[in-house]
Structure 1
Amino acid sequence: MLPKITVDNSTCLGPISCGQCMKICPMTVFIAGPTKVWKFRETDPKDFRVYARYYDQCVTCNKCVETCPVSAITIATNEKTEAALAEEIAEEVAS
């Protein structure tokens, strides 16, 4: 099951002034991108945000959550325990 990674951009310091999540992630899940793009103008550094683009590569090590200085990142998983999976399989086999 894929994790749901949420970056709260209202509290995130941004990839230019912080970027700790991008540096520490062993799977390179996070990218930085502009919120708006203007033709023939330089993008303001404050207009860059952190995005969890490659969330399918996440191994839920939680290093990004632990290293974020403002706790802007959350990771939620919907994994079933082995016991719950075994019980579900047993019910399917029995029916």
Structure 2
Amino acid sequence: MLPKITVDDGTCLGPHECGLCMKLCPMTVFIAGHTKVWKFRETDPKDYRVYARYYDQCVMCNKCVEACPVSAITITADEVASAAELLAEPMAEQPASLS
């Protein structure tokens, strides 16, 4: 099950002022991307924002959520079982081999 990672652009301080989510994520889910591209001009640092580009790599450790000083990141998923819950379940019996 893939998580849905939302970064609130109105609240997020941006990669140049903060960037803790990008630094702390063990799976490198977040990247900094620019919102405007001007030919032959330097991009203003305020025009960058944080994207959850590699959300399919997220292991839902919540380090980014806990580290965000302005609570701009939310992670949700439907019916997610933790690793401990999955390990606690008994293994399904394998069907008898066809002879």
What's the TM-score once normalised by structure 1's chain length?
A: 0.83
1:38 aligns with 2:27: no
The within-5 A match list for 1:61-72 is 61-72=61-72
Q: How far 1:80 moved relative to its partner?
A: 5.1
CA RMSD of aligned residues (A): 1.4
| Runs (4+) off by over 3 Å | none
Percent of counterpart pairs with the same letter? Answer: 82
Counterpart in the other structure of 2:8: 8
Counterpart in the other structure of 2:56: 56
Gaps spanning 5+ residues in structure 2: where? 86-99
- Structure with the largest fraction of helix: 1
Q: How far 1:78 moved relative to its partner?
A: 0.7
Q: How far 1:2 moved relative to its partner?
A: 0.1
> Separation in 1 of the partners of 2:80 and 2:33?
34
Larger Rg: 2
Gap change, CA 1:76 and 1:28, over 3 Å in 2: same
- Aligned pair count? 83
Which letter maps to 1:41?
R
What's the TM-score once normalised by structure 2's chain length?
A: 0.80
- 1:36-64: CA deviation from partner (whole Å, max 9, x where unpaired): 11000000000000000000000000000
